[in-house]
Amino acid sequence: MKPIARLIAAAAVAGFAITSASAADLTGAGATFPYPIYAKWAEAYKAKTGIGLNYQAIGSGGGIAQIKAKTVDFGASDKPLSPGELAAAGLTQFPTVIGGVVPVLNVPGIKAGELVLDGATLAQISLGNVKYWDDGSIKKLNPGVNLPHLSIVGVHRSDGSGTNFIFTNYLSKKSPEWASKVGAATSVEWPSGVGAKGNEGIAGVVAQTSGALGYVEYAYAKQKQLAYVRMINHDGVAVSPTAEAFQAASAKTDWAHSASFYVVLTDQVGHDAWPIAGATFILVYKQPGDAAKTKEVLKFFDWAYANGDGLAKSLDYVPLPDSTIAAIKKSWRDNISAAAIP
Partner 1 sequence: MNRALYVRRRLVNRMFLALSIAAAGVGMVALGLILGALIVNGVQGLSPDLFTMNTPAPGSRGGLANAIVGSLELNGIAVLIGTPIGILGGTYLAEYGRHTWIAFFVRFANDILLSAPSILIGLFIYELVVAQDVIEELHGFSAIAGAMALAVIVIPVVVRTTENMLLLVPNTLREAAASIGAPRAISIRAVTWRAARAGIVTGVLLALARISGETAPLMFTAFGNPNMSTNLFQPISALPKVIYDFFNSALDDWHRIAWAGALIITATVLTLSVFARLLEGRRS
Partner 2 sequence: MADIAVTENIAVTSRARALKRFQASDSIFRWLTGGASFLIMAIFLGILLTLIGGSWLALGKFGWQFLTNSSWNAVTENFGAFPAIYGTLVTSIIAMVLAVPIGIGIAIFLTEICPRSLKRPIGIAIELLAGIPSIIYGIWGLFVFAPYFQTHAQPWIIDLFGNVPIMKDLFAGPPYGFGMFTAGLILAIMVLPFIASVTRDVFETAPAMLKEAAYGTGCTTWEVMWRIVLPFTQAGVVGGCMLALGRALGETMAVTFVIGNSHRIDPSLFAPATTISATIANEFAEAPDDMYKSALIACGLVLMGLTFTVLAAAQLMLRGFERRAGGKA
- To the nearest whole angstrom, how small is the minimum distance from the Cβ of residue 278 to partner 2? 14
**Sequence-distant (≥ 6) Cβ neighbours of residue 148 within 8 angstroms:** 107, 108, 109, 133, 134
User: Which partner in partner 1, partner 2, none is near 183 (CB below 5 to 8 A by kind)?
Assistant: partner 2
123 contacts partner 2 (rule: CB under 8 A): no
244 contacts partner 2 (rule: CB under 8 A): no
User: What residue type is assigned to position 189 of the chain?
Assistant: E
Interface with partner 2: number of residues (CB under 8 A) = 34
Q: What are phi and psi for residue 125, nearest 5 degrees?
A: -65, -45
62 contacts partner 2 (rule: CB under 8 A): yes
- To the nearest whole angstrom, how small is the minimum distance from the Cβ of residue 216 to partner 2? 15
Segment near partner 2 (CB under 8 A); pick from 57-65, 130-138, 223-231, 271-279 = 57-65
**Sequence-distant (≥ 6) Cβ neighbours of residue 286 within 8 angstroms:** 90, 91, 92, 335, 336, 337
| Site pattern 195..214 for partner 2 (x: CB under 8 A) | xxx--xx--xx--xx-----
Are 38 and 17 in contact by the 8 Å Cβ rule? The answer is no
- To the nearest whole angstrom, how small is the minimum distance from the Cβ of residue 113 to partner 1? 19
**Sequence-distant (≥ 6) Cβ neighbours of residue 141 within 8 angstroms:** 116, 117, 118, 121, 232
Q: Exposure of 181 by Cβ count < 10 A (0-12 exposed, 13-18 middle, 19+ buried)?
A: middle
Element (H, E) at 189: none
Is the four-CA dihedral 69, 282, 173, 221 of positive or negative sign?
negative
User: What residue type is assigned to position 52 of the chain?
Assistant: G
User: Which partner in partner 2, partner 1, none is near 5 (CB below 5 to 8 A by kind)?
Assistant: none
User: Which partner in partner 1, partner 2, none is near 196 (CB below 5 to 8 A by kind)?
Assistant: partner 2
Choose which of 121, 186, 233, 266 interacts with partner 2 (CB under 8 A): 186
Residues forming the site for partner 1 (CB under 8 A): 12, 15-21, 25, 27, 29, 32, 35-37, 39-40, 42-44, 52-58, 62, 69, 71, 198-200, 217, 219-220, 223-224, 314-315
Instruction: Determine how β-strand 212-217 pairs with β-strand 91-106.
Output: antiparallel
- To the nearest whole angstrom, how small is the minimum distance from the Cβ of residue 261 to partner 2? 17
Q: Where are the beta strands (DSSP E) in 114-271?
A: 116-118, 153-157, 194-196, 212-217, 230-232, 238-239
User: Which partner in partner 1, partner 2, none is near 147 (CB below 5 to 8 A by kind)?
Assistant: none
User: Which partner in partner 1, partner 2, none is near 40 (CB below 5 to 8 A by kind)?
Assistant: partner 1
- To the nearest whole angstrom, how small is the minimum distance from the Cβ of residue 312 to partner 1? 11
Interface with partner 2 (CB under 8 A): 58-62, 64-65, 77, 79, 153, 158-162, 182-190, 194-197, 200-201, 204-205, 208-209
